[in-house]
Chains A and B, each alone.
Chain A
Amino acid sequence: MTATTMPAAHDESHGHGHHYTTLGLDNRKIAIWTFIGSECMLFASLISTYLVYKGRSVKGPFPHEAWTDPSGKVFPAILDIPVTSASTFVLLMSSFAMVLALAAVQNKELPKTTFGERILGSSKLWLWVTCLMGTAFLGFQAYEFTAFIREGLTIRTNLFGSSFFTLTGFHGAHVAVGVCWLFSLLAIDYKRGLGPSDALNVDIAALYWHFVDVVWIVIFTLVYLIK
């Protein structure tokens, strides 16, 4: 059979895009957006439950106010907003590094002459920065969780503990998956170098990373900032 009836779109074959697609976009790009849409419902369920259970715990410790137990022991408000603000800042900045990493991969083949261009064009550097900032966020979370447990709040203590640890734990697990994903890309970068033909793979990792970041903004606002 001849291909004479095919429209031009079918003959464009570059890299991964060698199959005809209706929108001219790669399938992976649409799939990641679909996945993110689904993830929104996942976090919406977690966040709604947290909000519905806010203030319903029959005993402390509580997030924003002190609590005295029947024996007279005082538990201070448990959320440490300055520390979490710092970890939030780190996570937000990691999104910035992610953008630079993607740009570096996309522009790998452009000539780089100045020092600044070489810095901005180093995909390894920016992937490292993103990974380390993500890891740092996880470190903050590990610190926060152990501190809370030491102060008497576990996932079994009360409704606040159950819903808080589950919500932030789910988010932390998403960050952890993202860090593994980015480290895998970094490993490929060391092995054979990431170039423009890999840009889509970096792009979908970046979309996931930004999404996880945006979810944290919502969690930080609703859980930590609003009393």
Chain B
Amino acid sequence: MATIVAAPPYSSTATESANTGLMSWLTTVDHKRIGVLYLITALVFFVIGGLEAFLIRAQLAVPNGTVLSADMYNQLFTMHGTTMVFLAIMPLSAAFFNFLIPLQIGARDVAFPRLNAFSYWIYLLGGIFITVPIFFAVAPDGGWFGYAPLSTKQFSPQINMDFWVLGLQILGISSLAAAFNFITTIINMRAPGMHLMRMPIFTWMSFVVQFLVALAFPVITIALVFLQFDRFFGTNFYAIGAGADPLLWQHLFWVFGHPEVYILILPAFGLVSEVLPTFSKKPLFGYPVMVYSGILIGFLGFGVWAHHMFAVGMGPIADAVFSLTTMLIAIPTGVKIFNWMATMWDGDLRFNTSMKFGVALVGMFTIGGISGVMHSSPPADLQQTDTYFIVAHFHYVLFGGSMFGLFAGLYYYFPKISGRFMSESLGNWHFWLTFLGMNLTFFPMHFSGLLGMPRRTYQYDAGQGLELFNLLSTIGTLVLMLGTLFGLINLWKSWKSGERASSNPWGAPTIEWAIPSPPPEHNFDTLPQITSRYPLWDLKGAVVTHPTTVADEAGRVQKTAKQLGIPMPNPSILPLVTAVGVIVMFSGMLFTGSNMKLAVAIMIGGAVWWIAGLYNWLLTPLEDAH
């Protein structure tokens, strides 16, 4: 009988020593290491985005604050949004896509390992490209949504928005390449028996997200190309005087922007759907419905974009249609909330840090979701739009939802990633300070918003009843920063000296827990034969034969892929080389306004560089001949 037994009774320390050093990281094509790179980079950007938010809150702590100039304030709120969406939450999700998807479907790597490395390098370099200007006070200043015509040369003549227009196109390349890679991986690299309806729910939600990326990112790419052409070549796409539609940008942006919301939240939903069953010792309630509602959210996500635009006056029919679709999308989302509650109901609950973040997501996301349904009604939205009420809403879904889910996933999967537990005592501080800080920061914004305090405005006058709410929000940010500090210290200390974890420390049901922690380079000595949705729960007898930490410490050694005769991709520097060429080419664009010859020279140089890199890459076999 084919079993789930995938791990041999050996430890996994042998391969590690050969794979250390800077060069091994620059050339890695191992999905697990790339996942770790994503994780660390995204956390760095998360801290940068958090500090930007802190400066915003410092400015708003008291009426008519003088910490920042209006110009600097614009740069900070633009970069806070851009950083958190594109450089922190999406890549944190990508860290889990990379690390988990091949493990969860029983594959040895992603479909295109070098393309995967390329995605990471483009993300890192693009992130630096778009972040560095803030240190020279020339950062993008037109909002993370970059509304044209405000962002055109006429109204934003400086170089600031050029960084944004080019930076987002660069980051789009990374996301799109990753989407093609993961869609192919999930469709085509599932282990025998891993039918679609047996796939772990995190992989399912990731699958939906990759389709959203593949279909939504081209739209913003085109919107950005139009804006870039308008800014650099004097085209008329957003030139109102030439007859352009002032809503063209808004439509294109939100056709991308609303699916983007689900790109940010569905991975967190997936992670929580792994965490809650394990720590409730119950299968996920209504697995098929969870899958279908995820797919439905993906579909409907493309049909609700104009609810971001009720204030522009689209007319009663458009308003009514988008209002209804928005209410409709709340149904599959609500289904998920109820299914999580039903999963926990009567379960054998274990409230460790991971579970706390998971349960907090269910509560906090519900608050954000309900305020979201409130703005699906155009008359209500007209009162709320552009006020702090909206800021409160989307921080409840993005922080209370996405970030809490990602933190839950981090505490849950850290033992698999590193072979060590994260500290529960530090985790306790991390959770409670984050939970308190998040609510203290964002709950008062509901009130300041309903009192009419506008977003994106760097000062407010005293005597409008806004002082207390703003002060509370600012204090909340301090608590949040303290909580994040605990989280980072926990991560650092646990990585170095956390308690050793066995292959399946939580008693979890899915196959990534059947292999050693951390997994060997090739993940599975033999591809597992999947016989059910929760194989490690259903095949209890097989699970106990897996290696434990004790066996590792007894000195037995995991065989390498080579010893087992498993062909693995060779490390390659070419993805990094190619990515550098792409960035050089885009950087050339920045000079089009000041020095056309220099700009063209840099662009051609970058293009020749990356094309040479690409040909080299395509003509170099992935693996040694065998």
Contact = CB atoms under 8 A, between A and B. Distances in A.
Interface string B228-258: 0100011111000111110010001001000
Contact of A38 (B179, B235, B237): B179
Contact of A58 (B181, B218, B243, B567): B243
B539 interface: no
B458 interface: no
A27 B189 contact: yes
B269 interface: no
Nearest to B182: A34
A7 B111 contact: no
B314 to A, nearest CB: 14
23 contacts: A1-B525, A9-B192, A20-B192, A22-B187, A22-B188, A23-B187, A27-B184, A31-B183, A31-B184, A34-B179, A38-B176, A38-B214, A41-B216, A42-B221, A45-B219, A45-B255, A49-B248, A155-B229, A155-B233, A158-B242, A159-B242, A162-B236, A166-B229
Interface in A2-32: 2-3, 5-7, 9-10, 18-23, 25, 27, 30-31
B564 interface: yes
B281 interface: no
Interface in B198-232: 214-219, 221-223, 225-226, 229
B171 to A, nearest CB: 15
Interface string B459-482: 000000000000000000000000
Contacts of A184: 615
A41 B220 CA distance: 10
Interface size class of B (residues with CB under 8 A): 35 or more
A21 B111 CA distance: 10
Interface string A37-58: 1110110111001001100111
Given A1-B526, A23-B188, A159-B242, A37 B215 contact: yes
A5 B187 contact: no
Contact of B218 (A45, A155, A162): A45
A22 B189 contact: yes
B417 interface: no
A147 to B, nearest CB: 20
Interface of A: 1-3, 5-7, 9-10, 18-23, 25, 27, 30-31, 34-35, 37-39, 41-42, 44-46, 49, 52-53, 56-58, 155-156, 158-159, 161-163, 166, 184
Nearest to B615: A184
B192 A6 contact: yes
B229 A45 contact: no
B546 interface: no
Interface string B1-44: 01100001000000000000000000000000000000000000
Most buried by A among B112, B190, B243, B567: B243
A166 B225 contact: yes
Contacts of B219: 41-42, 44-45
B526 A5 contact: yes
A192 to B, nearest CB: 12
B187 A45 contact: no
B60 interface: no
Interface of B: 2-3, 8, 111-112, 176, 179-181, 183-185, 187-192, 194, 214-219, 221-223, 225-226, 229, 233-237, 241-245, 248, 252, 255, 525-527, 529, 564, 567, 615
A155 B242 CA distance: 12
B242 A58 contact: yes
Contacts of A49: 222, 226, 237, 248, 252
B613 to A, nearest CB: 15
Nearest to A10: B527
Contact of B242 (A21, A22, A46, A57): A57
Contacts of B183: 30-31, 34
Nearest to A1: B525
Contacts of A10: 192, 527
A159 B240 CA distance: 10
A18 B567 contact: yes
A167 B564 CA distance: 52
A33 to B, nearest CB: 9
B229 A6 contact: no
A158 B188 contact: no
Given A22-B187, A31-B112, A38 B217 contact: yes
Contacts of B194: 22
Contact of B248 (A1, A19, A27, A52): A52
Nearest to A42: B218
A26 to B, nearest CB: 8
A145 B567 CA distance: 51
A162 B248 CA distance: 14
A110 to B, nearest CB: 27
B244 A7 contact: no
Contacts of B525: 1
Given A1-B8, A1-B525, A1-B564, A166 B218 contact: no
